[in-house]
Amino acid sequence: DGGITQSPKYLFRKEGQNVTLSCEQNLNHDAMYWYRQDPGQGLRLIYYSQIVNDFQKGDIAEGYSVSREKKESFPLTVTSAQKNPTAFYLCASIAFLVGGWTGYTQYFGPGTRLTVL
Amino acid sequence: AQTVTQSQPEMSVQEAETVTLSCTYDTSESDYYLFWYKQPPSRQMILVIRQEAYKQQNATENRFSVNFQKAAKSFSLKISDSQLGDAAMYFCAYRSGRGSQGNLIFGKGTKLSVKP
């Protein structure tokens, strides 16, 4: 089945550790996005990438890093510089270069819950 | 910058009744898209309905419909014949039109409860 997968579902991090969240899609989508969700805050954009080997900062990129070495993969690293990383992280993708609604609609993965111990 | 406001943090509806969730947005653009996403307890974001700004006709998807008032910058979601499975967080989202980066701007959400 085509879709977006995120792993792990739950992740625990100790203070000072870097952790990497995985996001993979087999939809042949061009663009991929990372959002952070906090209670009462909606979703906020961390990073996005429209093509391989290129990505841009979103509204809250500080303390995070990404890579896009393959079209289907867009991992997010939460670094020790992120002071309050406990949150729910959602990955999304879009067939950006396709016309019609397929090219305008983001589809989401199931999310990763990150907790700092 | 564009903003999206959902003024109702929580709403409640009786099963089989109709409920309307509010969303307003602020933009100076004329070309954009609007979305409603549902997030059930599983936290999976599910697309409910979408609307192109240049279309005057309101979008409908089965029991879900929108009231899109472009001049008022309002995009409310109406759920008819509410079902227990409709209980979830609902997020309104805005996306700039063609040539944009495709980013979504979300409201803070409305938590919908459905009473049996």
Contact assessment for residue A109 and residue A5, using Cβ atoms and an 8 Å cutoff:
yes
Residues 6+ apart with CB under 8 A from A53: A68, A69
Q: Decide which of A2 and A85 is more confident.
A: A85
Q: What is the pLDDT of residue A106?
A: 87
SS3 A103: helix
Give the largest CA-CA distance in chain B: 45
Q: Do B104 and A43 touch (CB under 8 A)?
A: yes
- Adjacent-strand bridge partners of A107: A93
Nearest CB to B103 within list A45, A90, A111? A45
pLDDT in tens, A55-88: 999 999 999 999 999 999 999 999 988 888 999 9
Q: Decide which of A83 and B4 is more confident.
A: B4
CA A7 to chain B, closest CA, distance in angstroms equals 14
Q: Do A110 and B43 touch (CB under 8 A)?
A: yes
User: How many other CB atoms are there within 10 angstroms of residue A59's CB atom?
Assistant: 13
Q: What residues of chain A lie within 8 A of the CB of B108, using their CB?
A: 40-42
Q: What is the pLDDT of residue B64?
A: 97
Residues 6+ apart with CB under 8 A from B95: A104, A106, B32, B33, B34, B35, B102, B103, B104, B105
CA A111 to chain B, closest CA, distance in angstroms equals 7
pLDDT in tens, A26-41: 988 889 999 999 987 8
CA B43 to chain A, closest CA, distance in angstroms equals 7
Q: Do B33 and A104 touch (CB under 8 A)?
A: yes
Q: What is the pLDDT of residue B36?
A: 97
Q: What is the pLDDT of residue A39?
A: 85
Residue with tokens 């867009």: A74
